[in-house]
Homo-oligomer: A and B are copies of this chain.
Amino acid sequence: MDLTTVKSIYRNTAAYANKEVTLGGWIRTMRVSKNFGFIELNDGSFFKNIQIVFEAEKLANYEEISKQNVGAALIIKGLLVETPEAKQPFEVKATQIDVEGTSTPDYPLQKKRHSVEFLREIAYLRPRTNLFSATFRVRSLIAMAIHEFFQGKGFVYAHTPIITGSDCEGAGEMFRVTTLDLENLPRTADGKVDYSKDFFGKETNLTVSGQLSAETFAMAFRNIYTFGPTFRAENSNTTRHAAEFWMIEPEMAFADLNDNMEIAEEMLKYIIQYVLDNAPEEMEFFNSFVDKGLLDRLHNILDNEFGRVTYTEAVELLKKSGHTFEYPVEWGIDLQTEHERYLTEQIYKKPVFVTDYPVEIKAFYMRLNDDKKTVAAMDLLVPGVGEIIGGSQREERLDVLENRMNELGLKKEDYWWYLDLRKYGGTRHAGFGLGFERAVMYLTGVGNIRDVLPYPRTVNNAEF
């Protein structure tokens, strides 16, 4: 249908003033008296509603319209009139209103504040609320900003596989993928499940990271990125963990840890600027109703260089801080969220890269530093969230990599192609992972990962 969008009216009011417009949208609220009524209509194109005025003497079906329920879909013809003296900048004086789809009095989204817990139970309706309309539109914009950022720099977008035949990605518990009939499993001669009968002829799982595949593409295209779903079958019932989430993993050849940090910082600033430019109304809403300091915090990030500190220095700073942590700080420990947040919120008061972690607490593929005790890893910590990005320079030296794999008992034959990358023109290279939902939480101030995913998957929950 050829409809005028509410967004275009807000963005370019002069072009529509005193002209007829046709709108399609849903009733957010309605007030009706005997001879006239007001509708707050949302057409989905824009965060804000538009006010519709309708009068009994102008509409033959005034009676029908005035009985509509919240949520009903209408198609409205009318005159756009500027109302400089009123709360809203303009309104539409309706000349015709057609009911496209009715609603009912028990429509769950009545005009009152609903708890996010209640709204999760009606996740299929919650994008129609201010909070979730803003969240999912900003989520969409962040995704676009990420593609623009990387494509603008010539990075190739690589779709690494979701179903993986290797269980060697090593980043966490995995979900099994199978077409075997669980009520009637095929067995080998020795009584084990016979995976040779499974769809792929072997055991397969859902990916926990596209990084190892991404490296193969970086060795061809130099700069690449992934952006796809990843999965962790971890029984962690927190506000920051979901079993299914999206991740961005850039990987760059001829790049070291410094290049890695530069790109990560530039990317995060690009995303923030993009969202501030493209969703000012939504960001004002978050700043007013979700997280009062949000806009200040984001502008602060744009205006400042991120901090950089080595793990060793960070441990010293935390020890010297005088702060009592639940989990005491000692060189060699994996930093806990309390430590990370103290570093970024109290000590640096801005995003900070922590680099060069002890080799023992990081993944096998991270590049060993000359001190032989630390690896060229980097985590980006941000106020309010903690870790949002984790990355490293990769170990490109075949012998060093093989030594490390031996120490950890990893089998070379499981990684043959990954090791081959070090034989055939391997370069220094680096990359990182950005948890997409964490980025959305960070940019919106929304505190629970269940509220930034359309249909979150968590322990005991795969509804809708």
Contact = CB atoms under 8 A, between A and B. Distances in A.
Interface of A: 1, 3, 5, 7, 24-27, 43-45, 71-73, 75, 100-104, 107, 124-125, 127-128, 132-133, 136-137, 139-140, 143-144, 147, 151, 154, 156-166, 173, 175-180, 182-183, 185, 192-193, 199-202, 204, 206, 213, 216-223, 228-229, 231, 233, 243-244, 246, 253-256, 259, 396, 417, 420-428, 453-455, 457, 459-464
Given A162-B162, A425-B26, A427-B73, A220 B133 contact: yes
A455 to B, nearest CB: 5
Nearest to A144: B151
Most chain B beta-carbon neighbours within 10 Å: one of A176, A220, A244, A454 = A220
Given A177-B177, A182-B185, A421-B124, A136 B221 contact: yes
A462 B424 contact: no
A256 B43 contact: no
14 contacts: A45-B154, A72-B425, A103-B423, A107-B425, A124-B417, A132-B220, A147-B147, A160-B454, A160-B455, A163-B244, A165-B464, A176-B177, A183-B193, A199-B460
Given A73-B426, A163-B462, A425-B102, A44 B222 contact: yes
Given A44-B222, A178-B175, A136 B217 contact: yes
A169 to B, nearest CB: 12
Contact of A163 (B44, B151, B243): B243
A255 B1 contact: yes
Given A161-B464, A176-B182, 10 more contacts: A1-B259, A24-B254, A44-B223, A73-B254, A73-B426, A75-B254, A158-B454, A161-B455, A162-B231, A199-B233
Contacts of A128: 219-220
A456 to B, nearest CB: 8
A441 to B, nearest CB: 14
Most chain B beta-carbon neighbours within 10 Å: one of A27, A179, A223 = A179
Copies in the complex: 2
Contacts of A3: 254
Given A44-B253, A72-B425, A73-B425, A462 B183 contact: no
Contacts of A206: 177
Contacts of A45: 154, 221-223
A202 B424 contact: no
Nearest to A278: B151
Given A161-B244, A244-B163, A463-B165, A221 B137 contact: yes
A464 B454 CA distance: 31
A229 B44 CA distance: 26
Contacts of A233: 179, 199
Contacts of A454: 158-161, 213, 217
A101 B426 contact: yes
B176 A178 contact: yes
Contacts of A200: 243, 457, 459-462
A384 B413 CA distance: 41
Most chain B beta-carbon neighbours within 10 Å: one of A104, A139, A453, A454 = A454
A334 to B, nearest CB: 24
A463 B204 CA distance: 10
A221 B461 CA distance: 25
A61 to B, nearest CB: 17
A10 to B, nearest CB: 12
Contacts of A455: 160-161, 213
A384 B44 CA distance: 38
A243 B199 contact: yes
A202 B133 CA distance: 30
